[in-house]
Each structure stands twice: as structure tokens, then as C-alpha cells.
A and B are shown apart, each in its own frame.
Chain A
Amino acid sequence: MSGRLKRSLTSQLFAAILVNSVYEMKNYPTNLVNTVLSPLSFLVVITFVSKGALLGQAIEGGLIMSMFQSGTALQGDISHLKNDFKLQDMLVSSPASPAIYVLGMAISEIIYVSPALLVLAALGQIYIHPDPFQALELTAALLLIFVTSITIGFMFATLSSDIVQSFAWSRLLTTVFTTITPVYYPLTYIPLPLRYLAYLSPTTYAAEIMQNVAGYLQEGAGVVVTDWAVLGGATAILLVVVSKKARWKEV
């Protein structure tokens, strides 16, 4: 009977969205409030402290944080489903492929943060008002950050066997890559020797690209091209690493 079944990829994608966002949002709305409030709370603090001067950077920072947080949340969620419910074991022994599973879970994370993204995008439209080409650039940088964080998240999740440790990693990665690094504020605020450390994070390049697009930085074309190349290159390398190192079935 199985040979005759025509399997629907859309259904397989939608299953993850149902499990990880639709049903969870419906039954645990507090999580949703938390996801919306995290990027907005930083935005409010930065805006007050800078007396409004850094509002634009903070909006862009909130967007980067929301996208990056989706990847780290994916790590916690996949790990939770794998270790506490044995869902990954059930899916390994089924026709579902790891690529479809991760893609569905990634989309579910975007849906989960979509209320925060909508609020931030509306604020961005009001205070940054990018033209269509600039909006495209901003979206591309955010998508690269999303793919980067998803790959990091999936790799950590497949290697994790302890949910408490997994959630700790999730929070740590978000803090290191979106709060300490110059995502909500300009890179120039960091003293020079430490500035080089910030360049170890892909989110720094995304922030520099976005701040440049919005006109908060006036970098030369060479710097901008370098930023895109590093961000794109890091994403590609992480994709290769995750395809080699992530563990779907055990060996």
C-alpha cells in the first residue's frame, strides 16, 4: 500500500508548522508574548538611553534579533521534540526527510516570530522608510542571518541529548550574537581592540549592511561588498558544515 501513496511535500512542511507554531501558539500564548517582547524591550531601552538617536539602529537590531532568535529557538524546539518526545526517532523511521523536517521547522519559527517582525517592519517603514531596493537589501541580509542561525541551531539540536543544556545554549547564542555584538548600536561604540572580536560574529556584518543601507553608516563600496561576501560566505560554510556534521540518524 505504501508504494502507491503519493506523498505531499507541502503536507510534510505544514506538519512542522502545525506542531511547532500553530498548536503551540494556540495553547501556550505566553511564549508568543515573550517572543514578541524580547526584541521590542531592547529597542525601547536603546531608544530611551540614546534619547531617540539610535531608534533606527534599534529597529534594525530588533529585526536581526528576531531572525537570529528564530534559529536559536529552532535549536531548543528540535532538541525538546527529539529528547523529550522522541519525535525525531519517529520521523527518522518514516518517509520524512531531514531537509523537509528542518525546512518546516524553520518556517514554523518565522511564523512564531511574525508578530514581532510585523511590528518592527511597521516601525521600520515609519522611521527608516527604505525605498524598494533598500527594502530588498535589508530583507536579503535578514534572510542570510536567518539561514545562518537555522544551520547553527539544527546542528546543535541534533548533537544535543539534554534539553536543559539545549535551552541554555539557545539563550547563550542569542545573547552573544545579538545583544553583546553591535546589532542594536553602531560598531564604533566599541573600543578599538574589542571591535575585532565583534567581526567574528555574522550578525555584525548584517548590522553593518543594514545600518549602511539606512544611512546610519557611510561605508565605502569596498566595505559593503566585503560585508556581503563575509555574511554570504559564512552562511554557505555553515550550510556545508551542518550537512556534514548534523546527526539525523545515529552511527
Chain B
Amino acid sequence: MSNEVRNRVKDKLFRYLGVISTWIGLVILGIFIVNILIDGVMRLNWQFLTSLPSRFPEKSGILTAWTGTIWLLFLTAFFAIPIGIAAGIYLEEYSKKSRISNFLEINIANLAGVPSIIYGILGLEIFVRKLQLGGSLLSGSFTLALLILPIIIVVTRESIKAVPQSIRDASYALGASKWQTIRHQVLPACMSNIITGIILALARAIGETAPLIVIGALAYVPFVAKSPMDEFTVLPIQIFNWISRPQHGFIINAAAAIIILLIITFFMNGIAIYMRNRWQKRSSA
């Protein structure tokens, strides 16, 4: 084979390799999901969704777990969103190029790369022990809020950066103050982007297991949480607990619970992407 032919063959081969590589991950994920559906879909029924956990797999349900997930979702959002957006606004609109602002930026990039279990360790020491909040929803939501804070900050900054300077100029020229300009022009112009990013961050938060285990979210919580100081569990932890049990019935339960968790996760991701597409179309009208 001449060199030229050999090169062309390599080229063609790589093209096939490229297509295969691109799809292989998704195909394998697809296989996994089909497996889960086969394992767990039969278990999904009203009883499963409304029962408390129990020693017997047939009697166990995810009531505590999914109510805990919803609780945690809202509490985490409540803490993380205002602080994250505020910090993003500060960094993008107020802080001038200086050592402090550089340091803040590098710091946030680092925080985004810290393993989530470390946030659990932080939460354990500060919220659970020092602040005496115990393994409560409050501890859990504080911990997760800190975890997703860097993500929200970055998304806010990127969104604000995309607002054209001409809008700010027009606002200042009419006599608006800096905050008026931010509040009435800059933020509304990029809010849809920020919201999309926040939804994605929250979708990630509800899938977190390790930090919550470390702060003491228990796996066996035979009651529904009624206040932020209550102990709690969430779907991922319930799943983890059931997988670790030997009885086959619990594996089925785990599969069913996974289906619920995936539905919630994909639903949130789906909304975010749908909103992003819709708003992109509207603003280019």
C-alpha cells in the first residue's frame, strides 16, 4: 500500500472511530437506563410513593425520601440563589480590577473544583457541630448551598457580561444610578440565562449524596420532615442505603427509586434547556 492510500485508510477509519466514540457513552447510558426500567418499573405504584421506609422491602416506600428531596431543593434554593446572584453582580459590576478581585475570582474557580464530600466535611464541623444544627435539613441545605454557590456565581457573571454596554450607557445618560441600572436594565436583560443556570445547579444539588451522608442525613428516617430543624433523608441516600442491603427486594426498590430520581433530574434539565431556547428566540425577535 502506498503512503497516500494508507493515510486515506487511516483517515476513514478514524472517522468511524469518531462516530462510535461520540455515541458510545450515550448508548451505554441508554443500556443502563433500559436495565433500570426493567428492574424497577414494576415496583412503581402508589404504595411505593407514599410509604415510609421499613425493614421489609415490599412495605418500604420513598415518601420520606422524595419529600426530603423537595424540602432540600427549596431550602437550598432559598439560601444559594440570593447570595449567588448578589455575589455575581458584585464581581461583575462593582469590583474593579485589583488584587482582591483577582483573588476572589481564583478562589471561586478553586471552590468549584473542590470534591463535594469536602463540603460535607465542612458542613459537619461548622453547621452540625459548631452551630449545633445537627443532621437537620438546615445543615443539609446550608452545605449544598455552599456547594452550588460557585456555579451560580459563574453563571450570573457570564450572563451579566453578555449584556451590551450600550444599554448601561443609555441608562446612565438618563440619570439612573448604578443600582437602578443594574436592577431595571441589566438584570432583567439576562435573567433568563441566570435562571437557566440556577435550575441546572439545583438539578445537580438534588443528585448529591456524599456531602449529605457526612453531615448525618440518615438512611432510615421513618417520618416525614415537617420543619427545617428535622432530620431527613433524600432520594439518593435512600437509594444508596437500599443498594447496600443484601435482599433482592431492596435492589428492586433502589431501581424504582432511581427511576423517580432520574425523572426529576431530567425534568429539571429539560425545563432549563427549553427555557433557554425559548428566551433566545424571543430576544432576537
Q: A and B from one assembly?
A: no
Q: Write the residues of chain B forming the contact surface with A, with a CB cutoff of 8 angstroms.
A: none
Q: Write the residues of chain A forming the contact surface with B, with a CB cutoff of 8 angstroms.
A: none
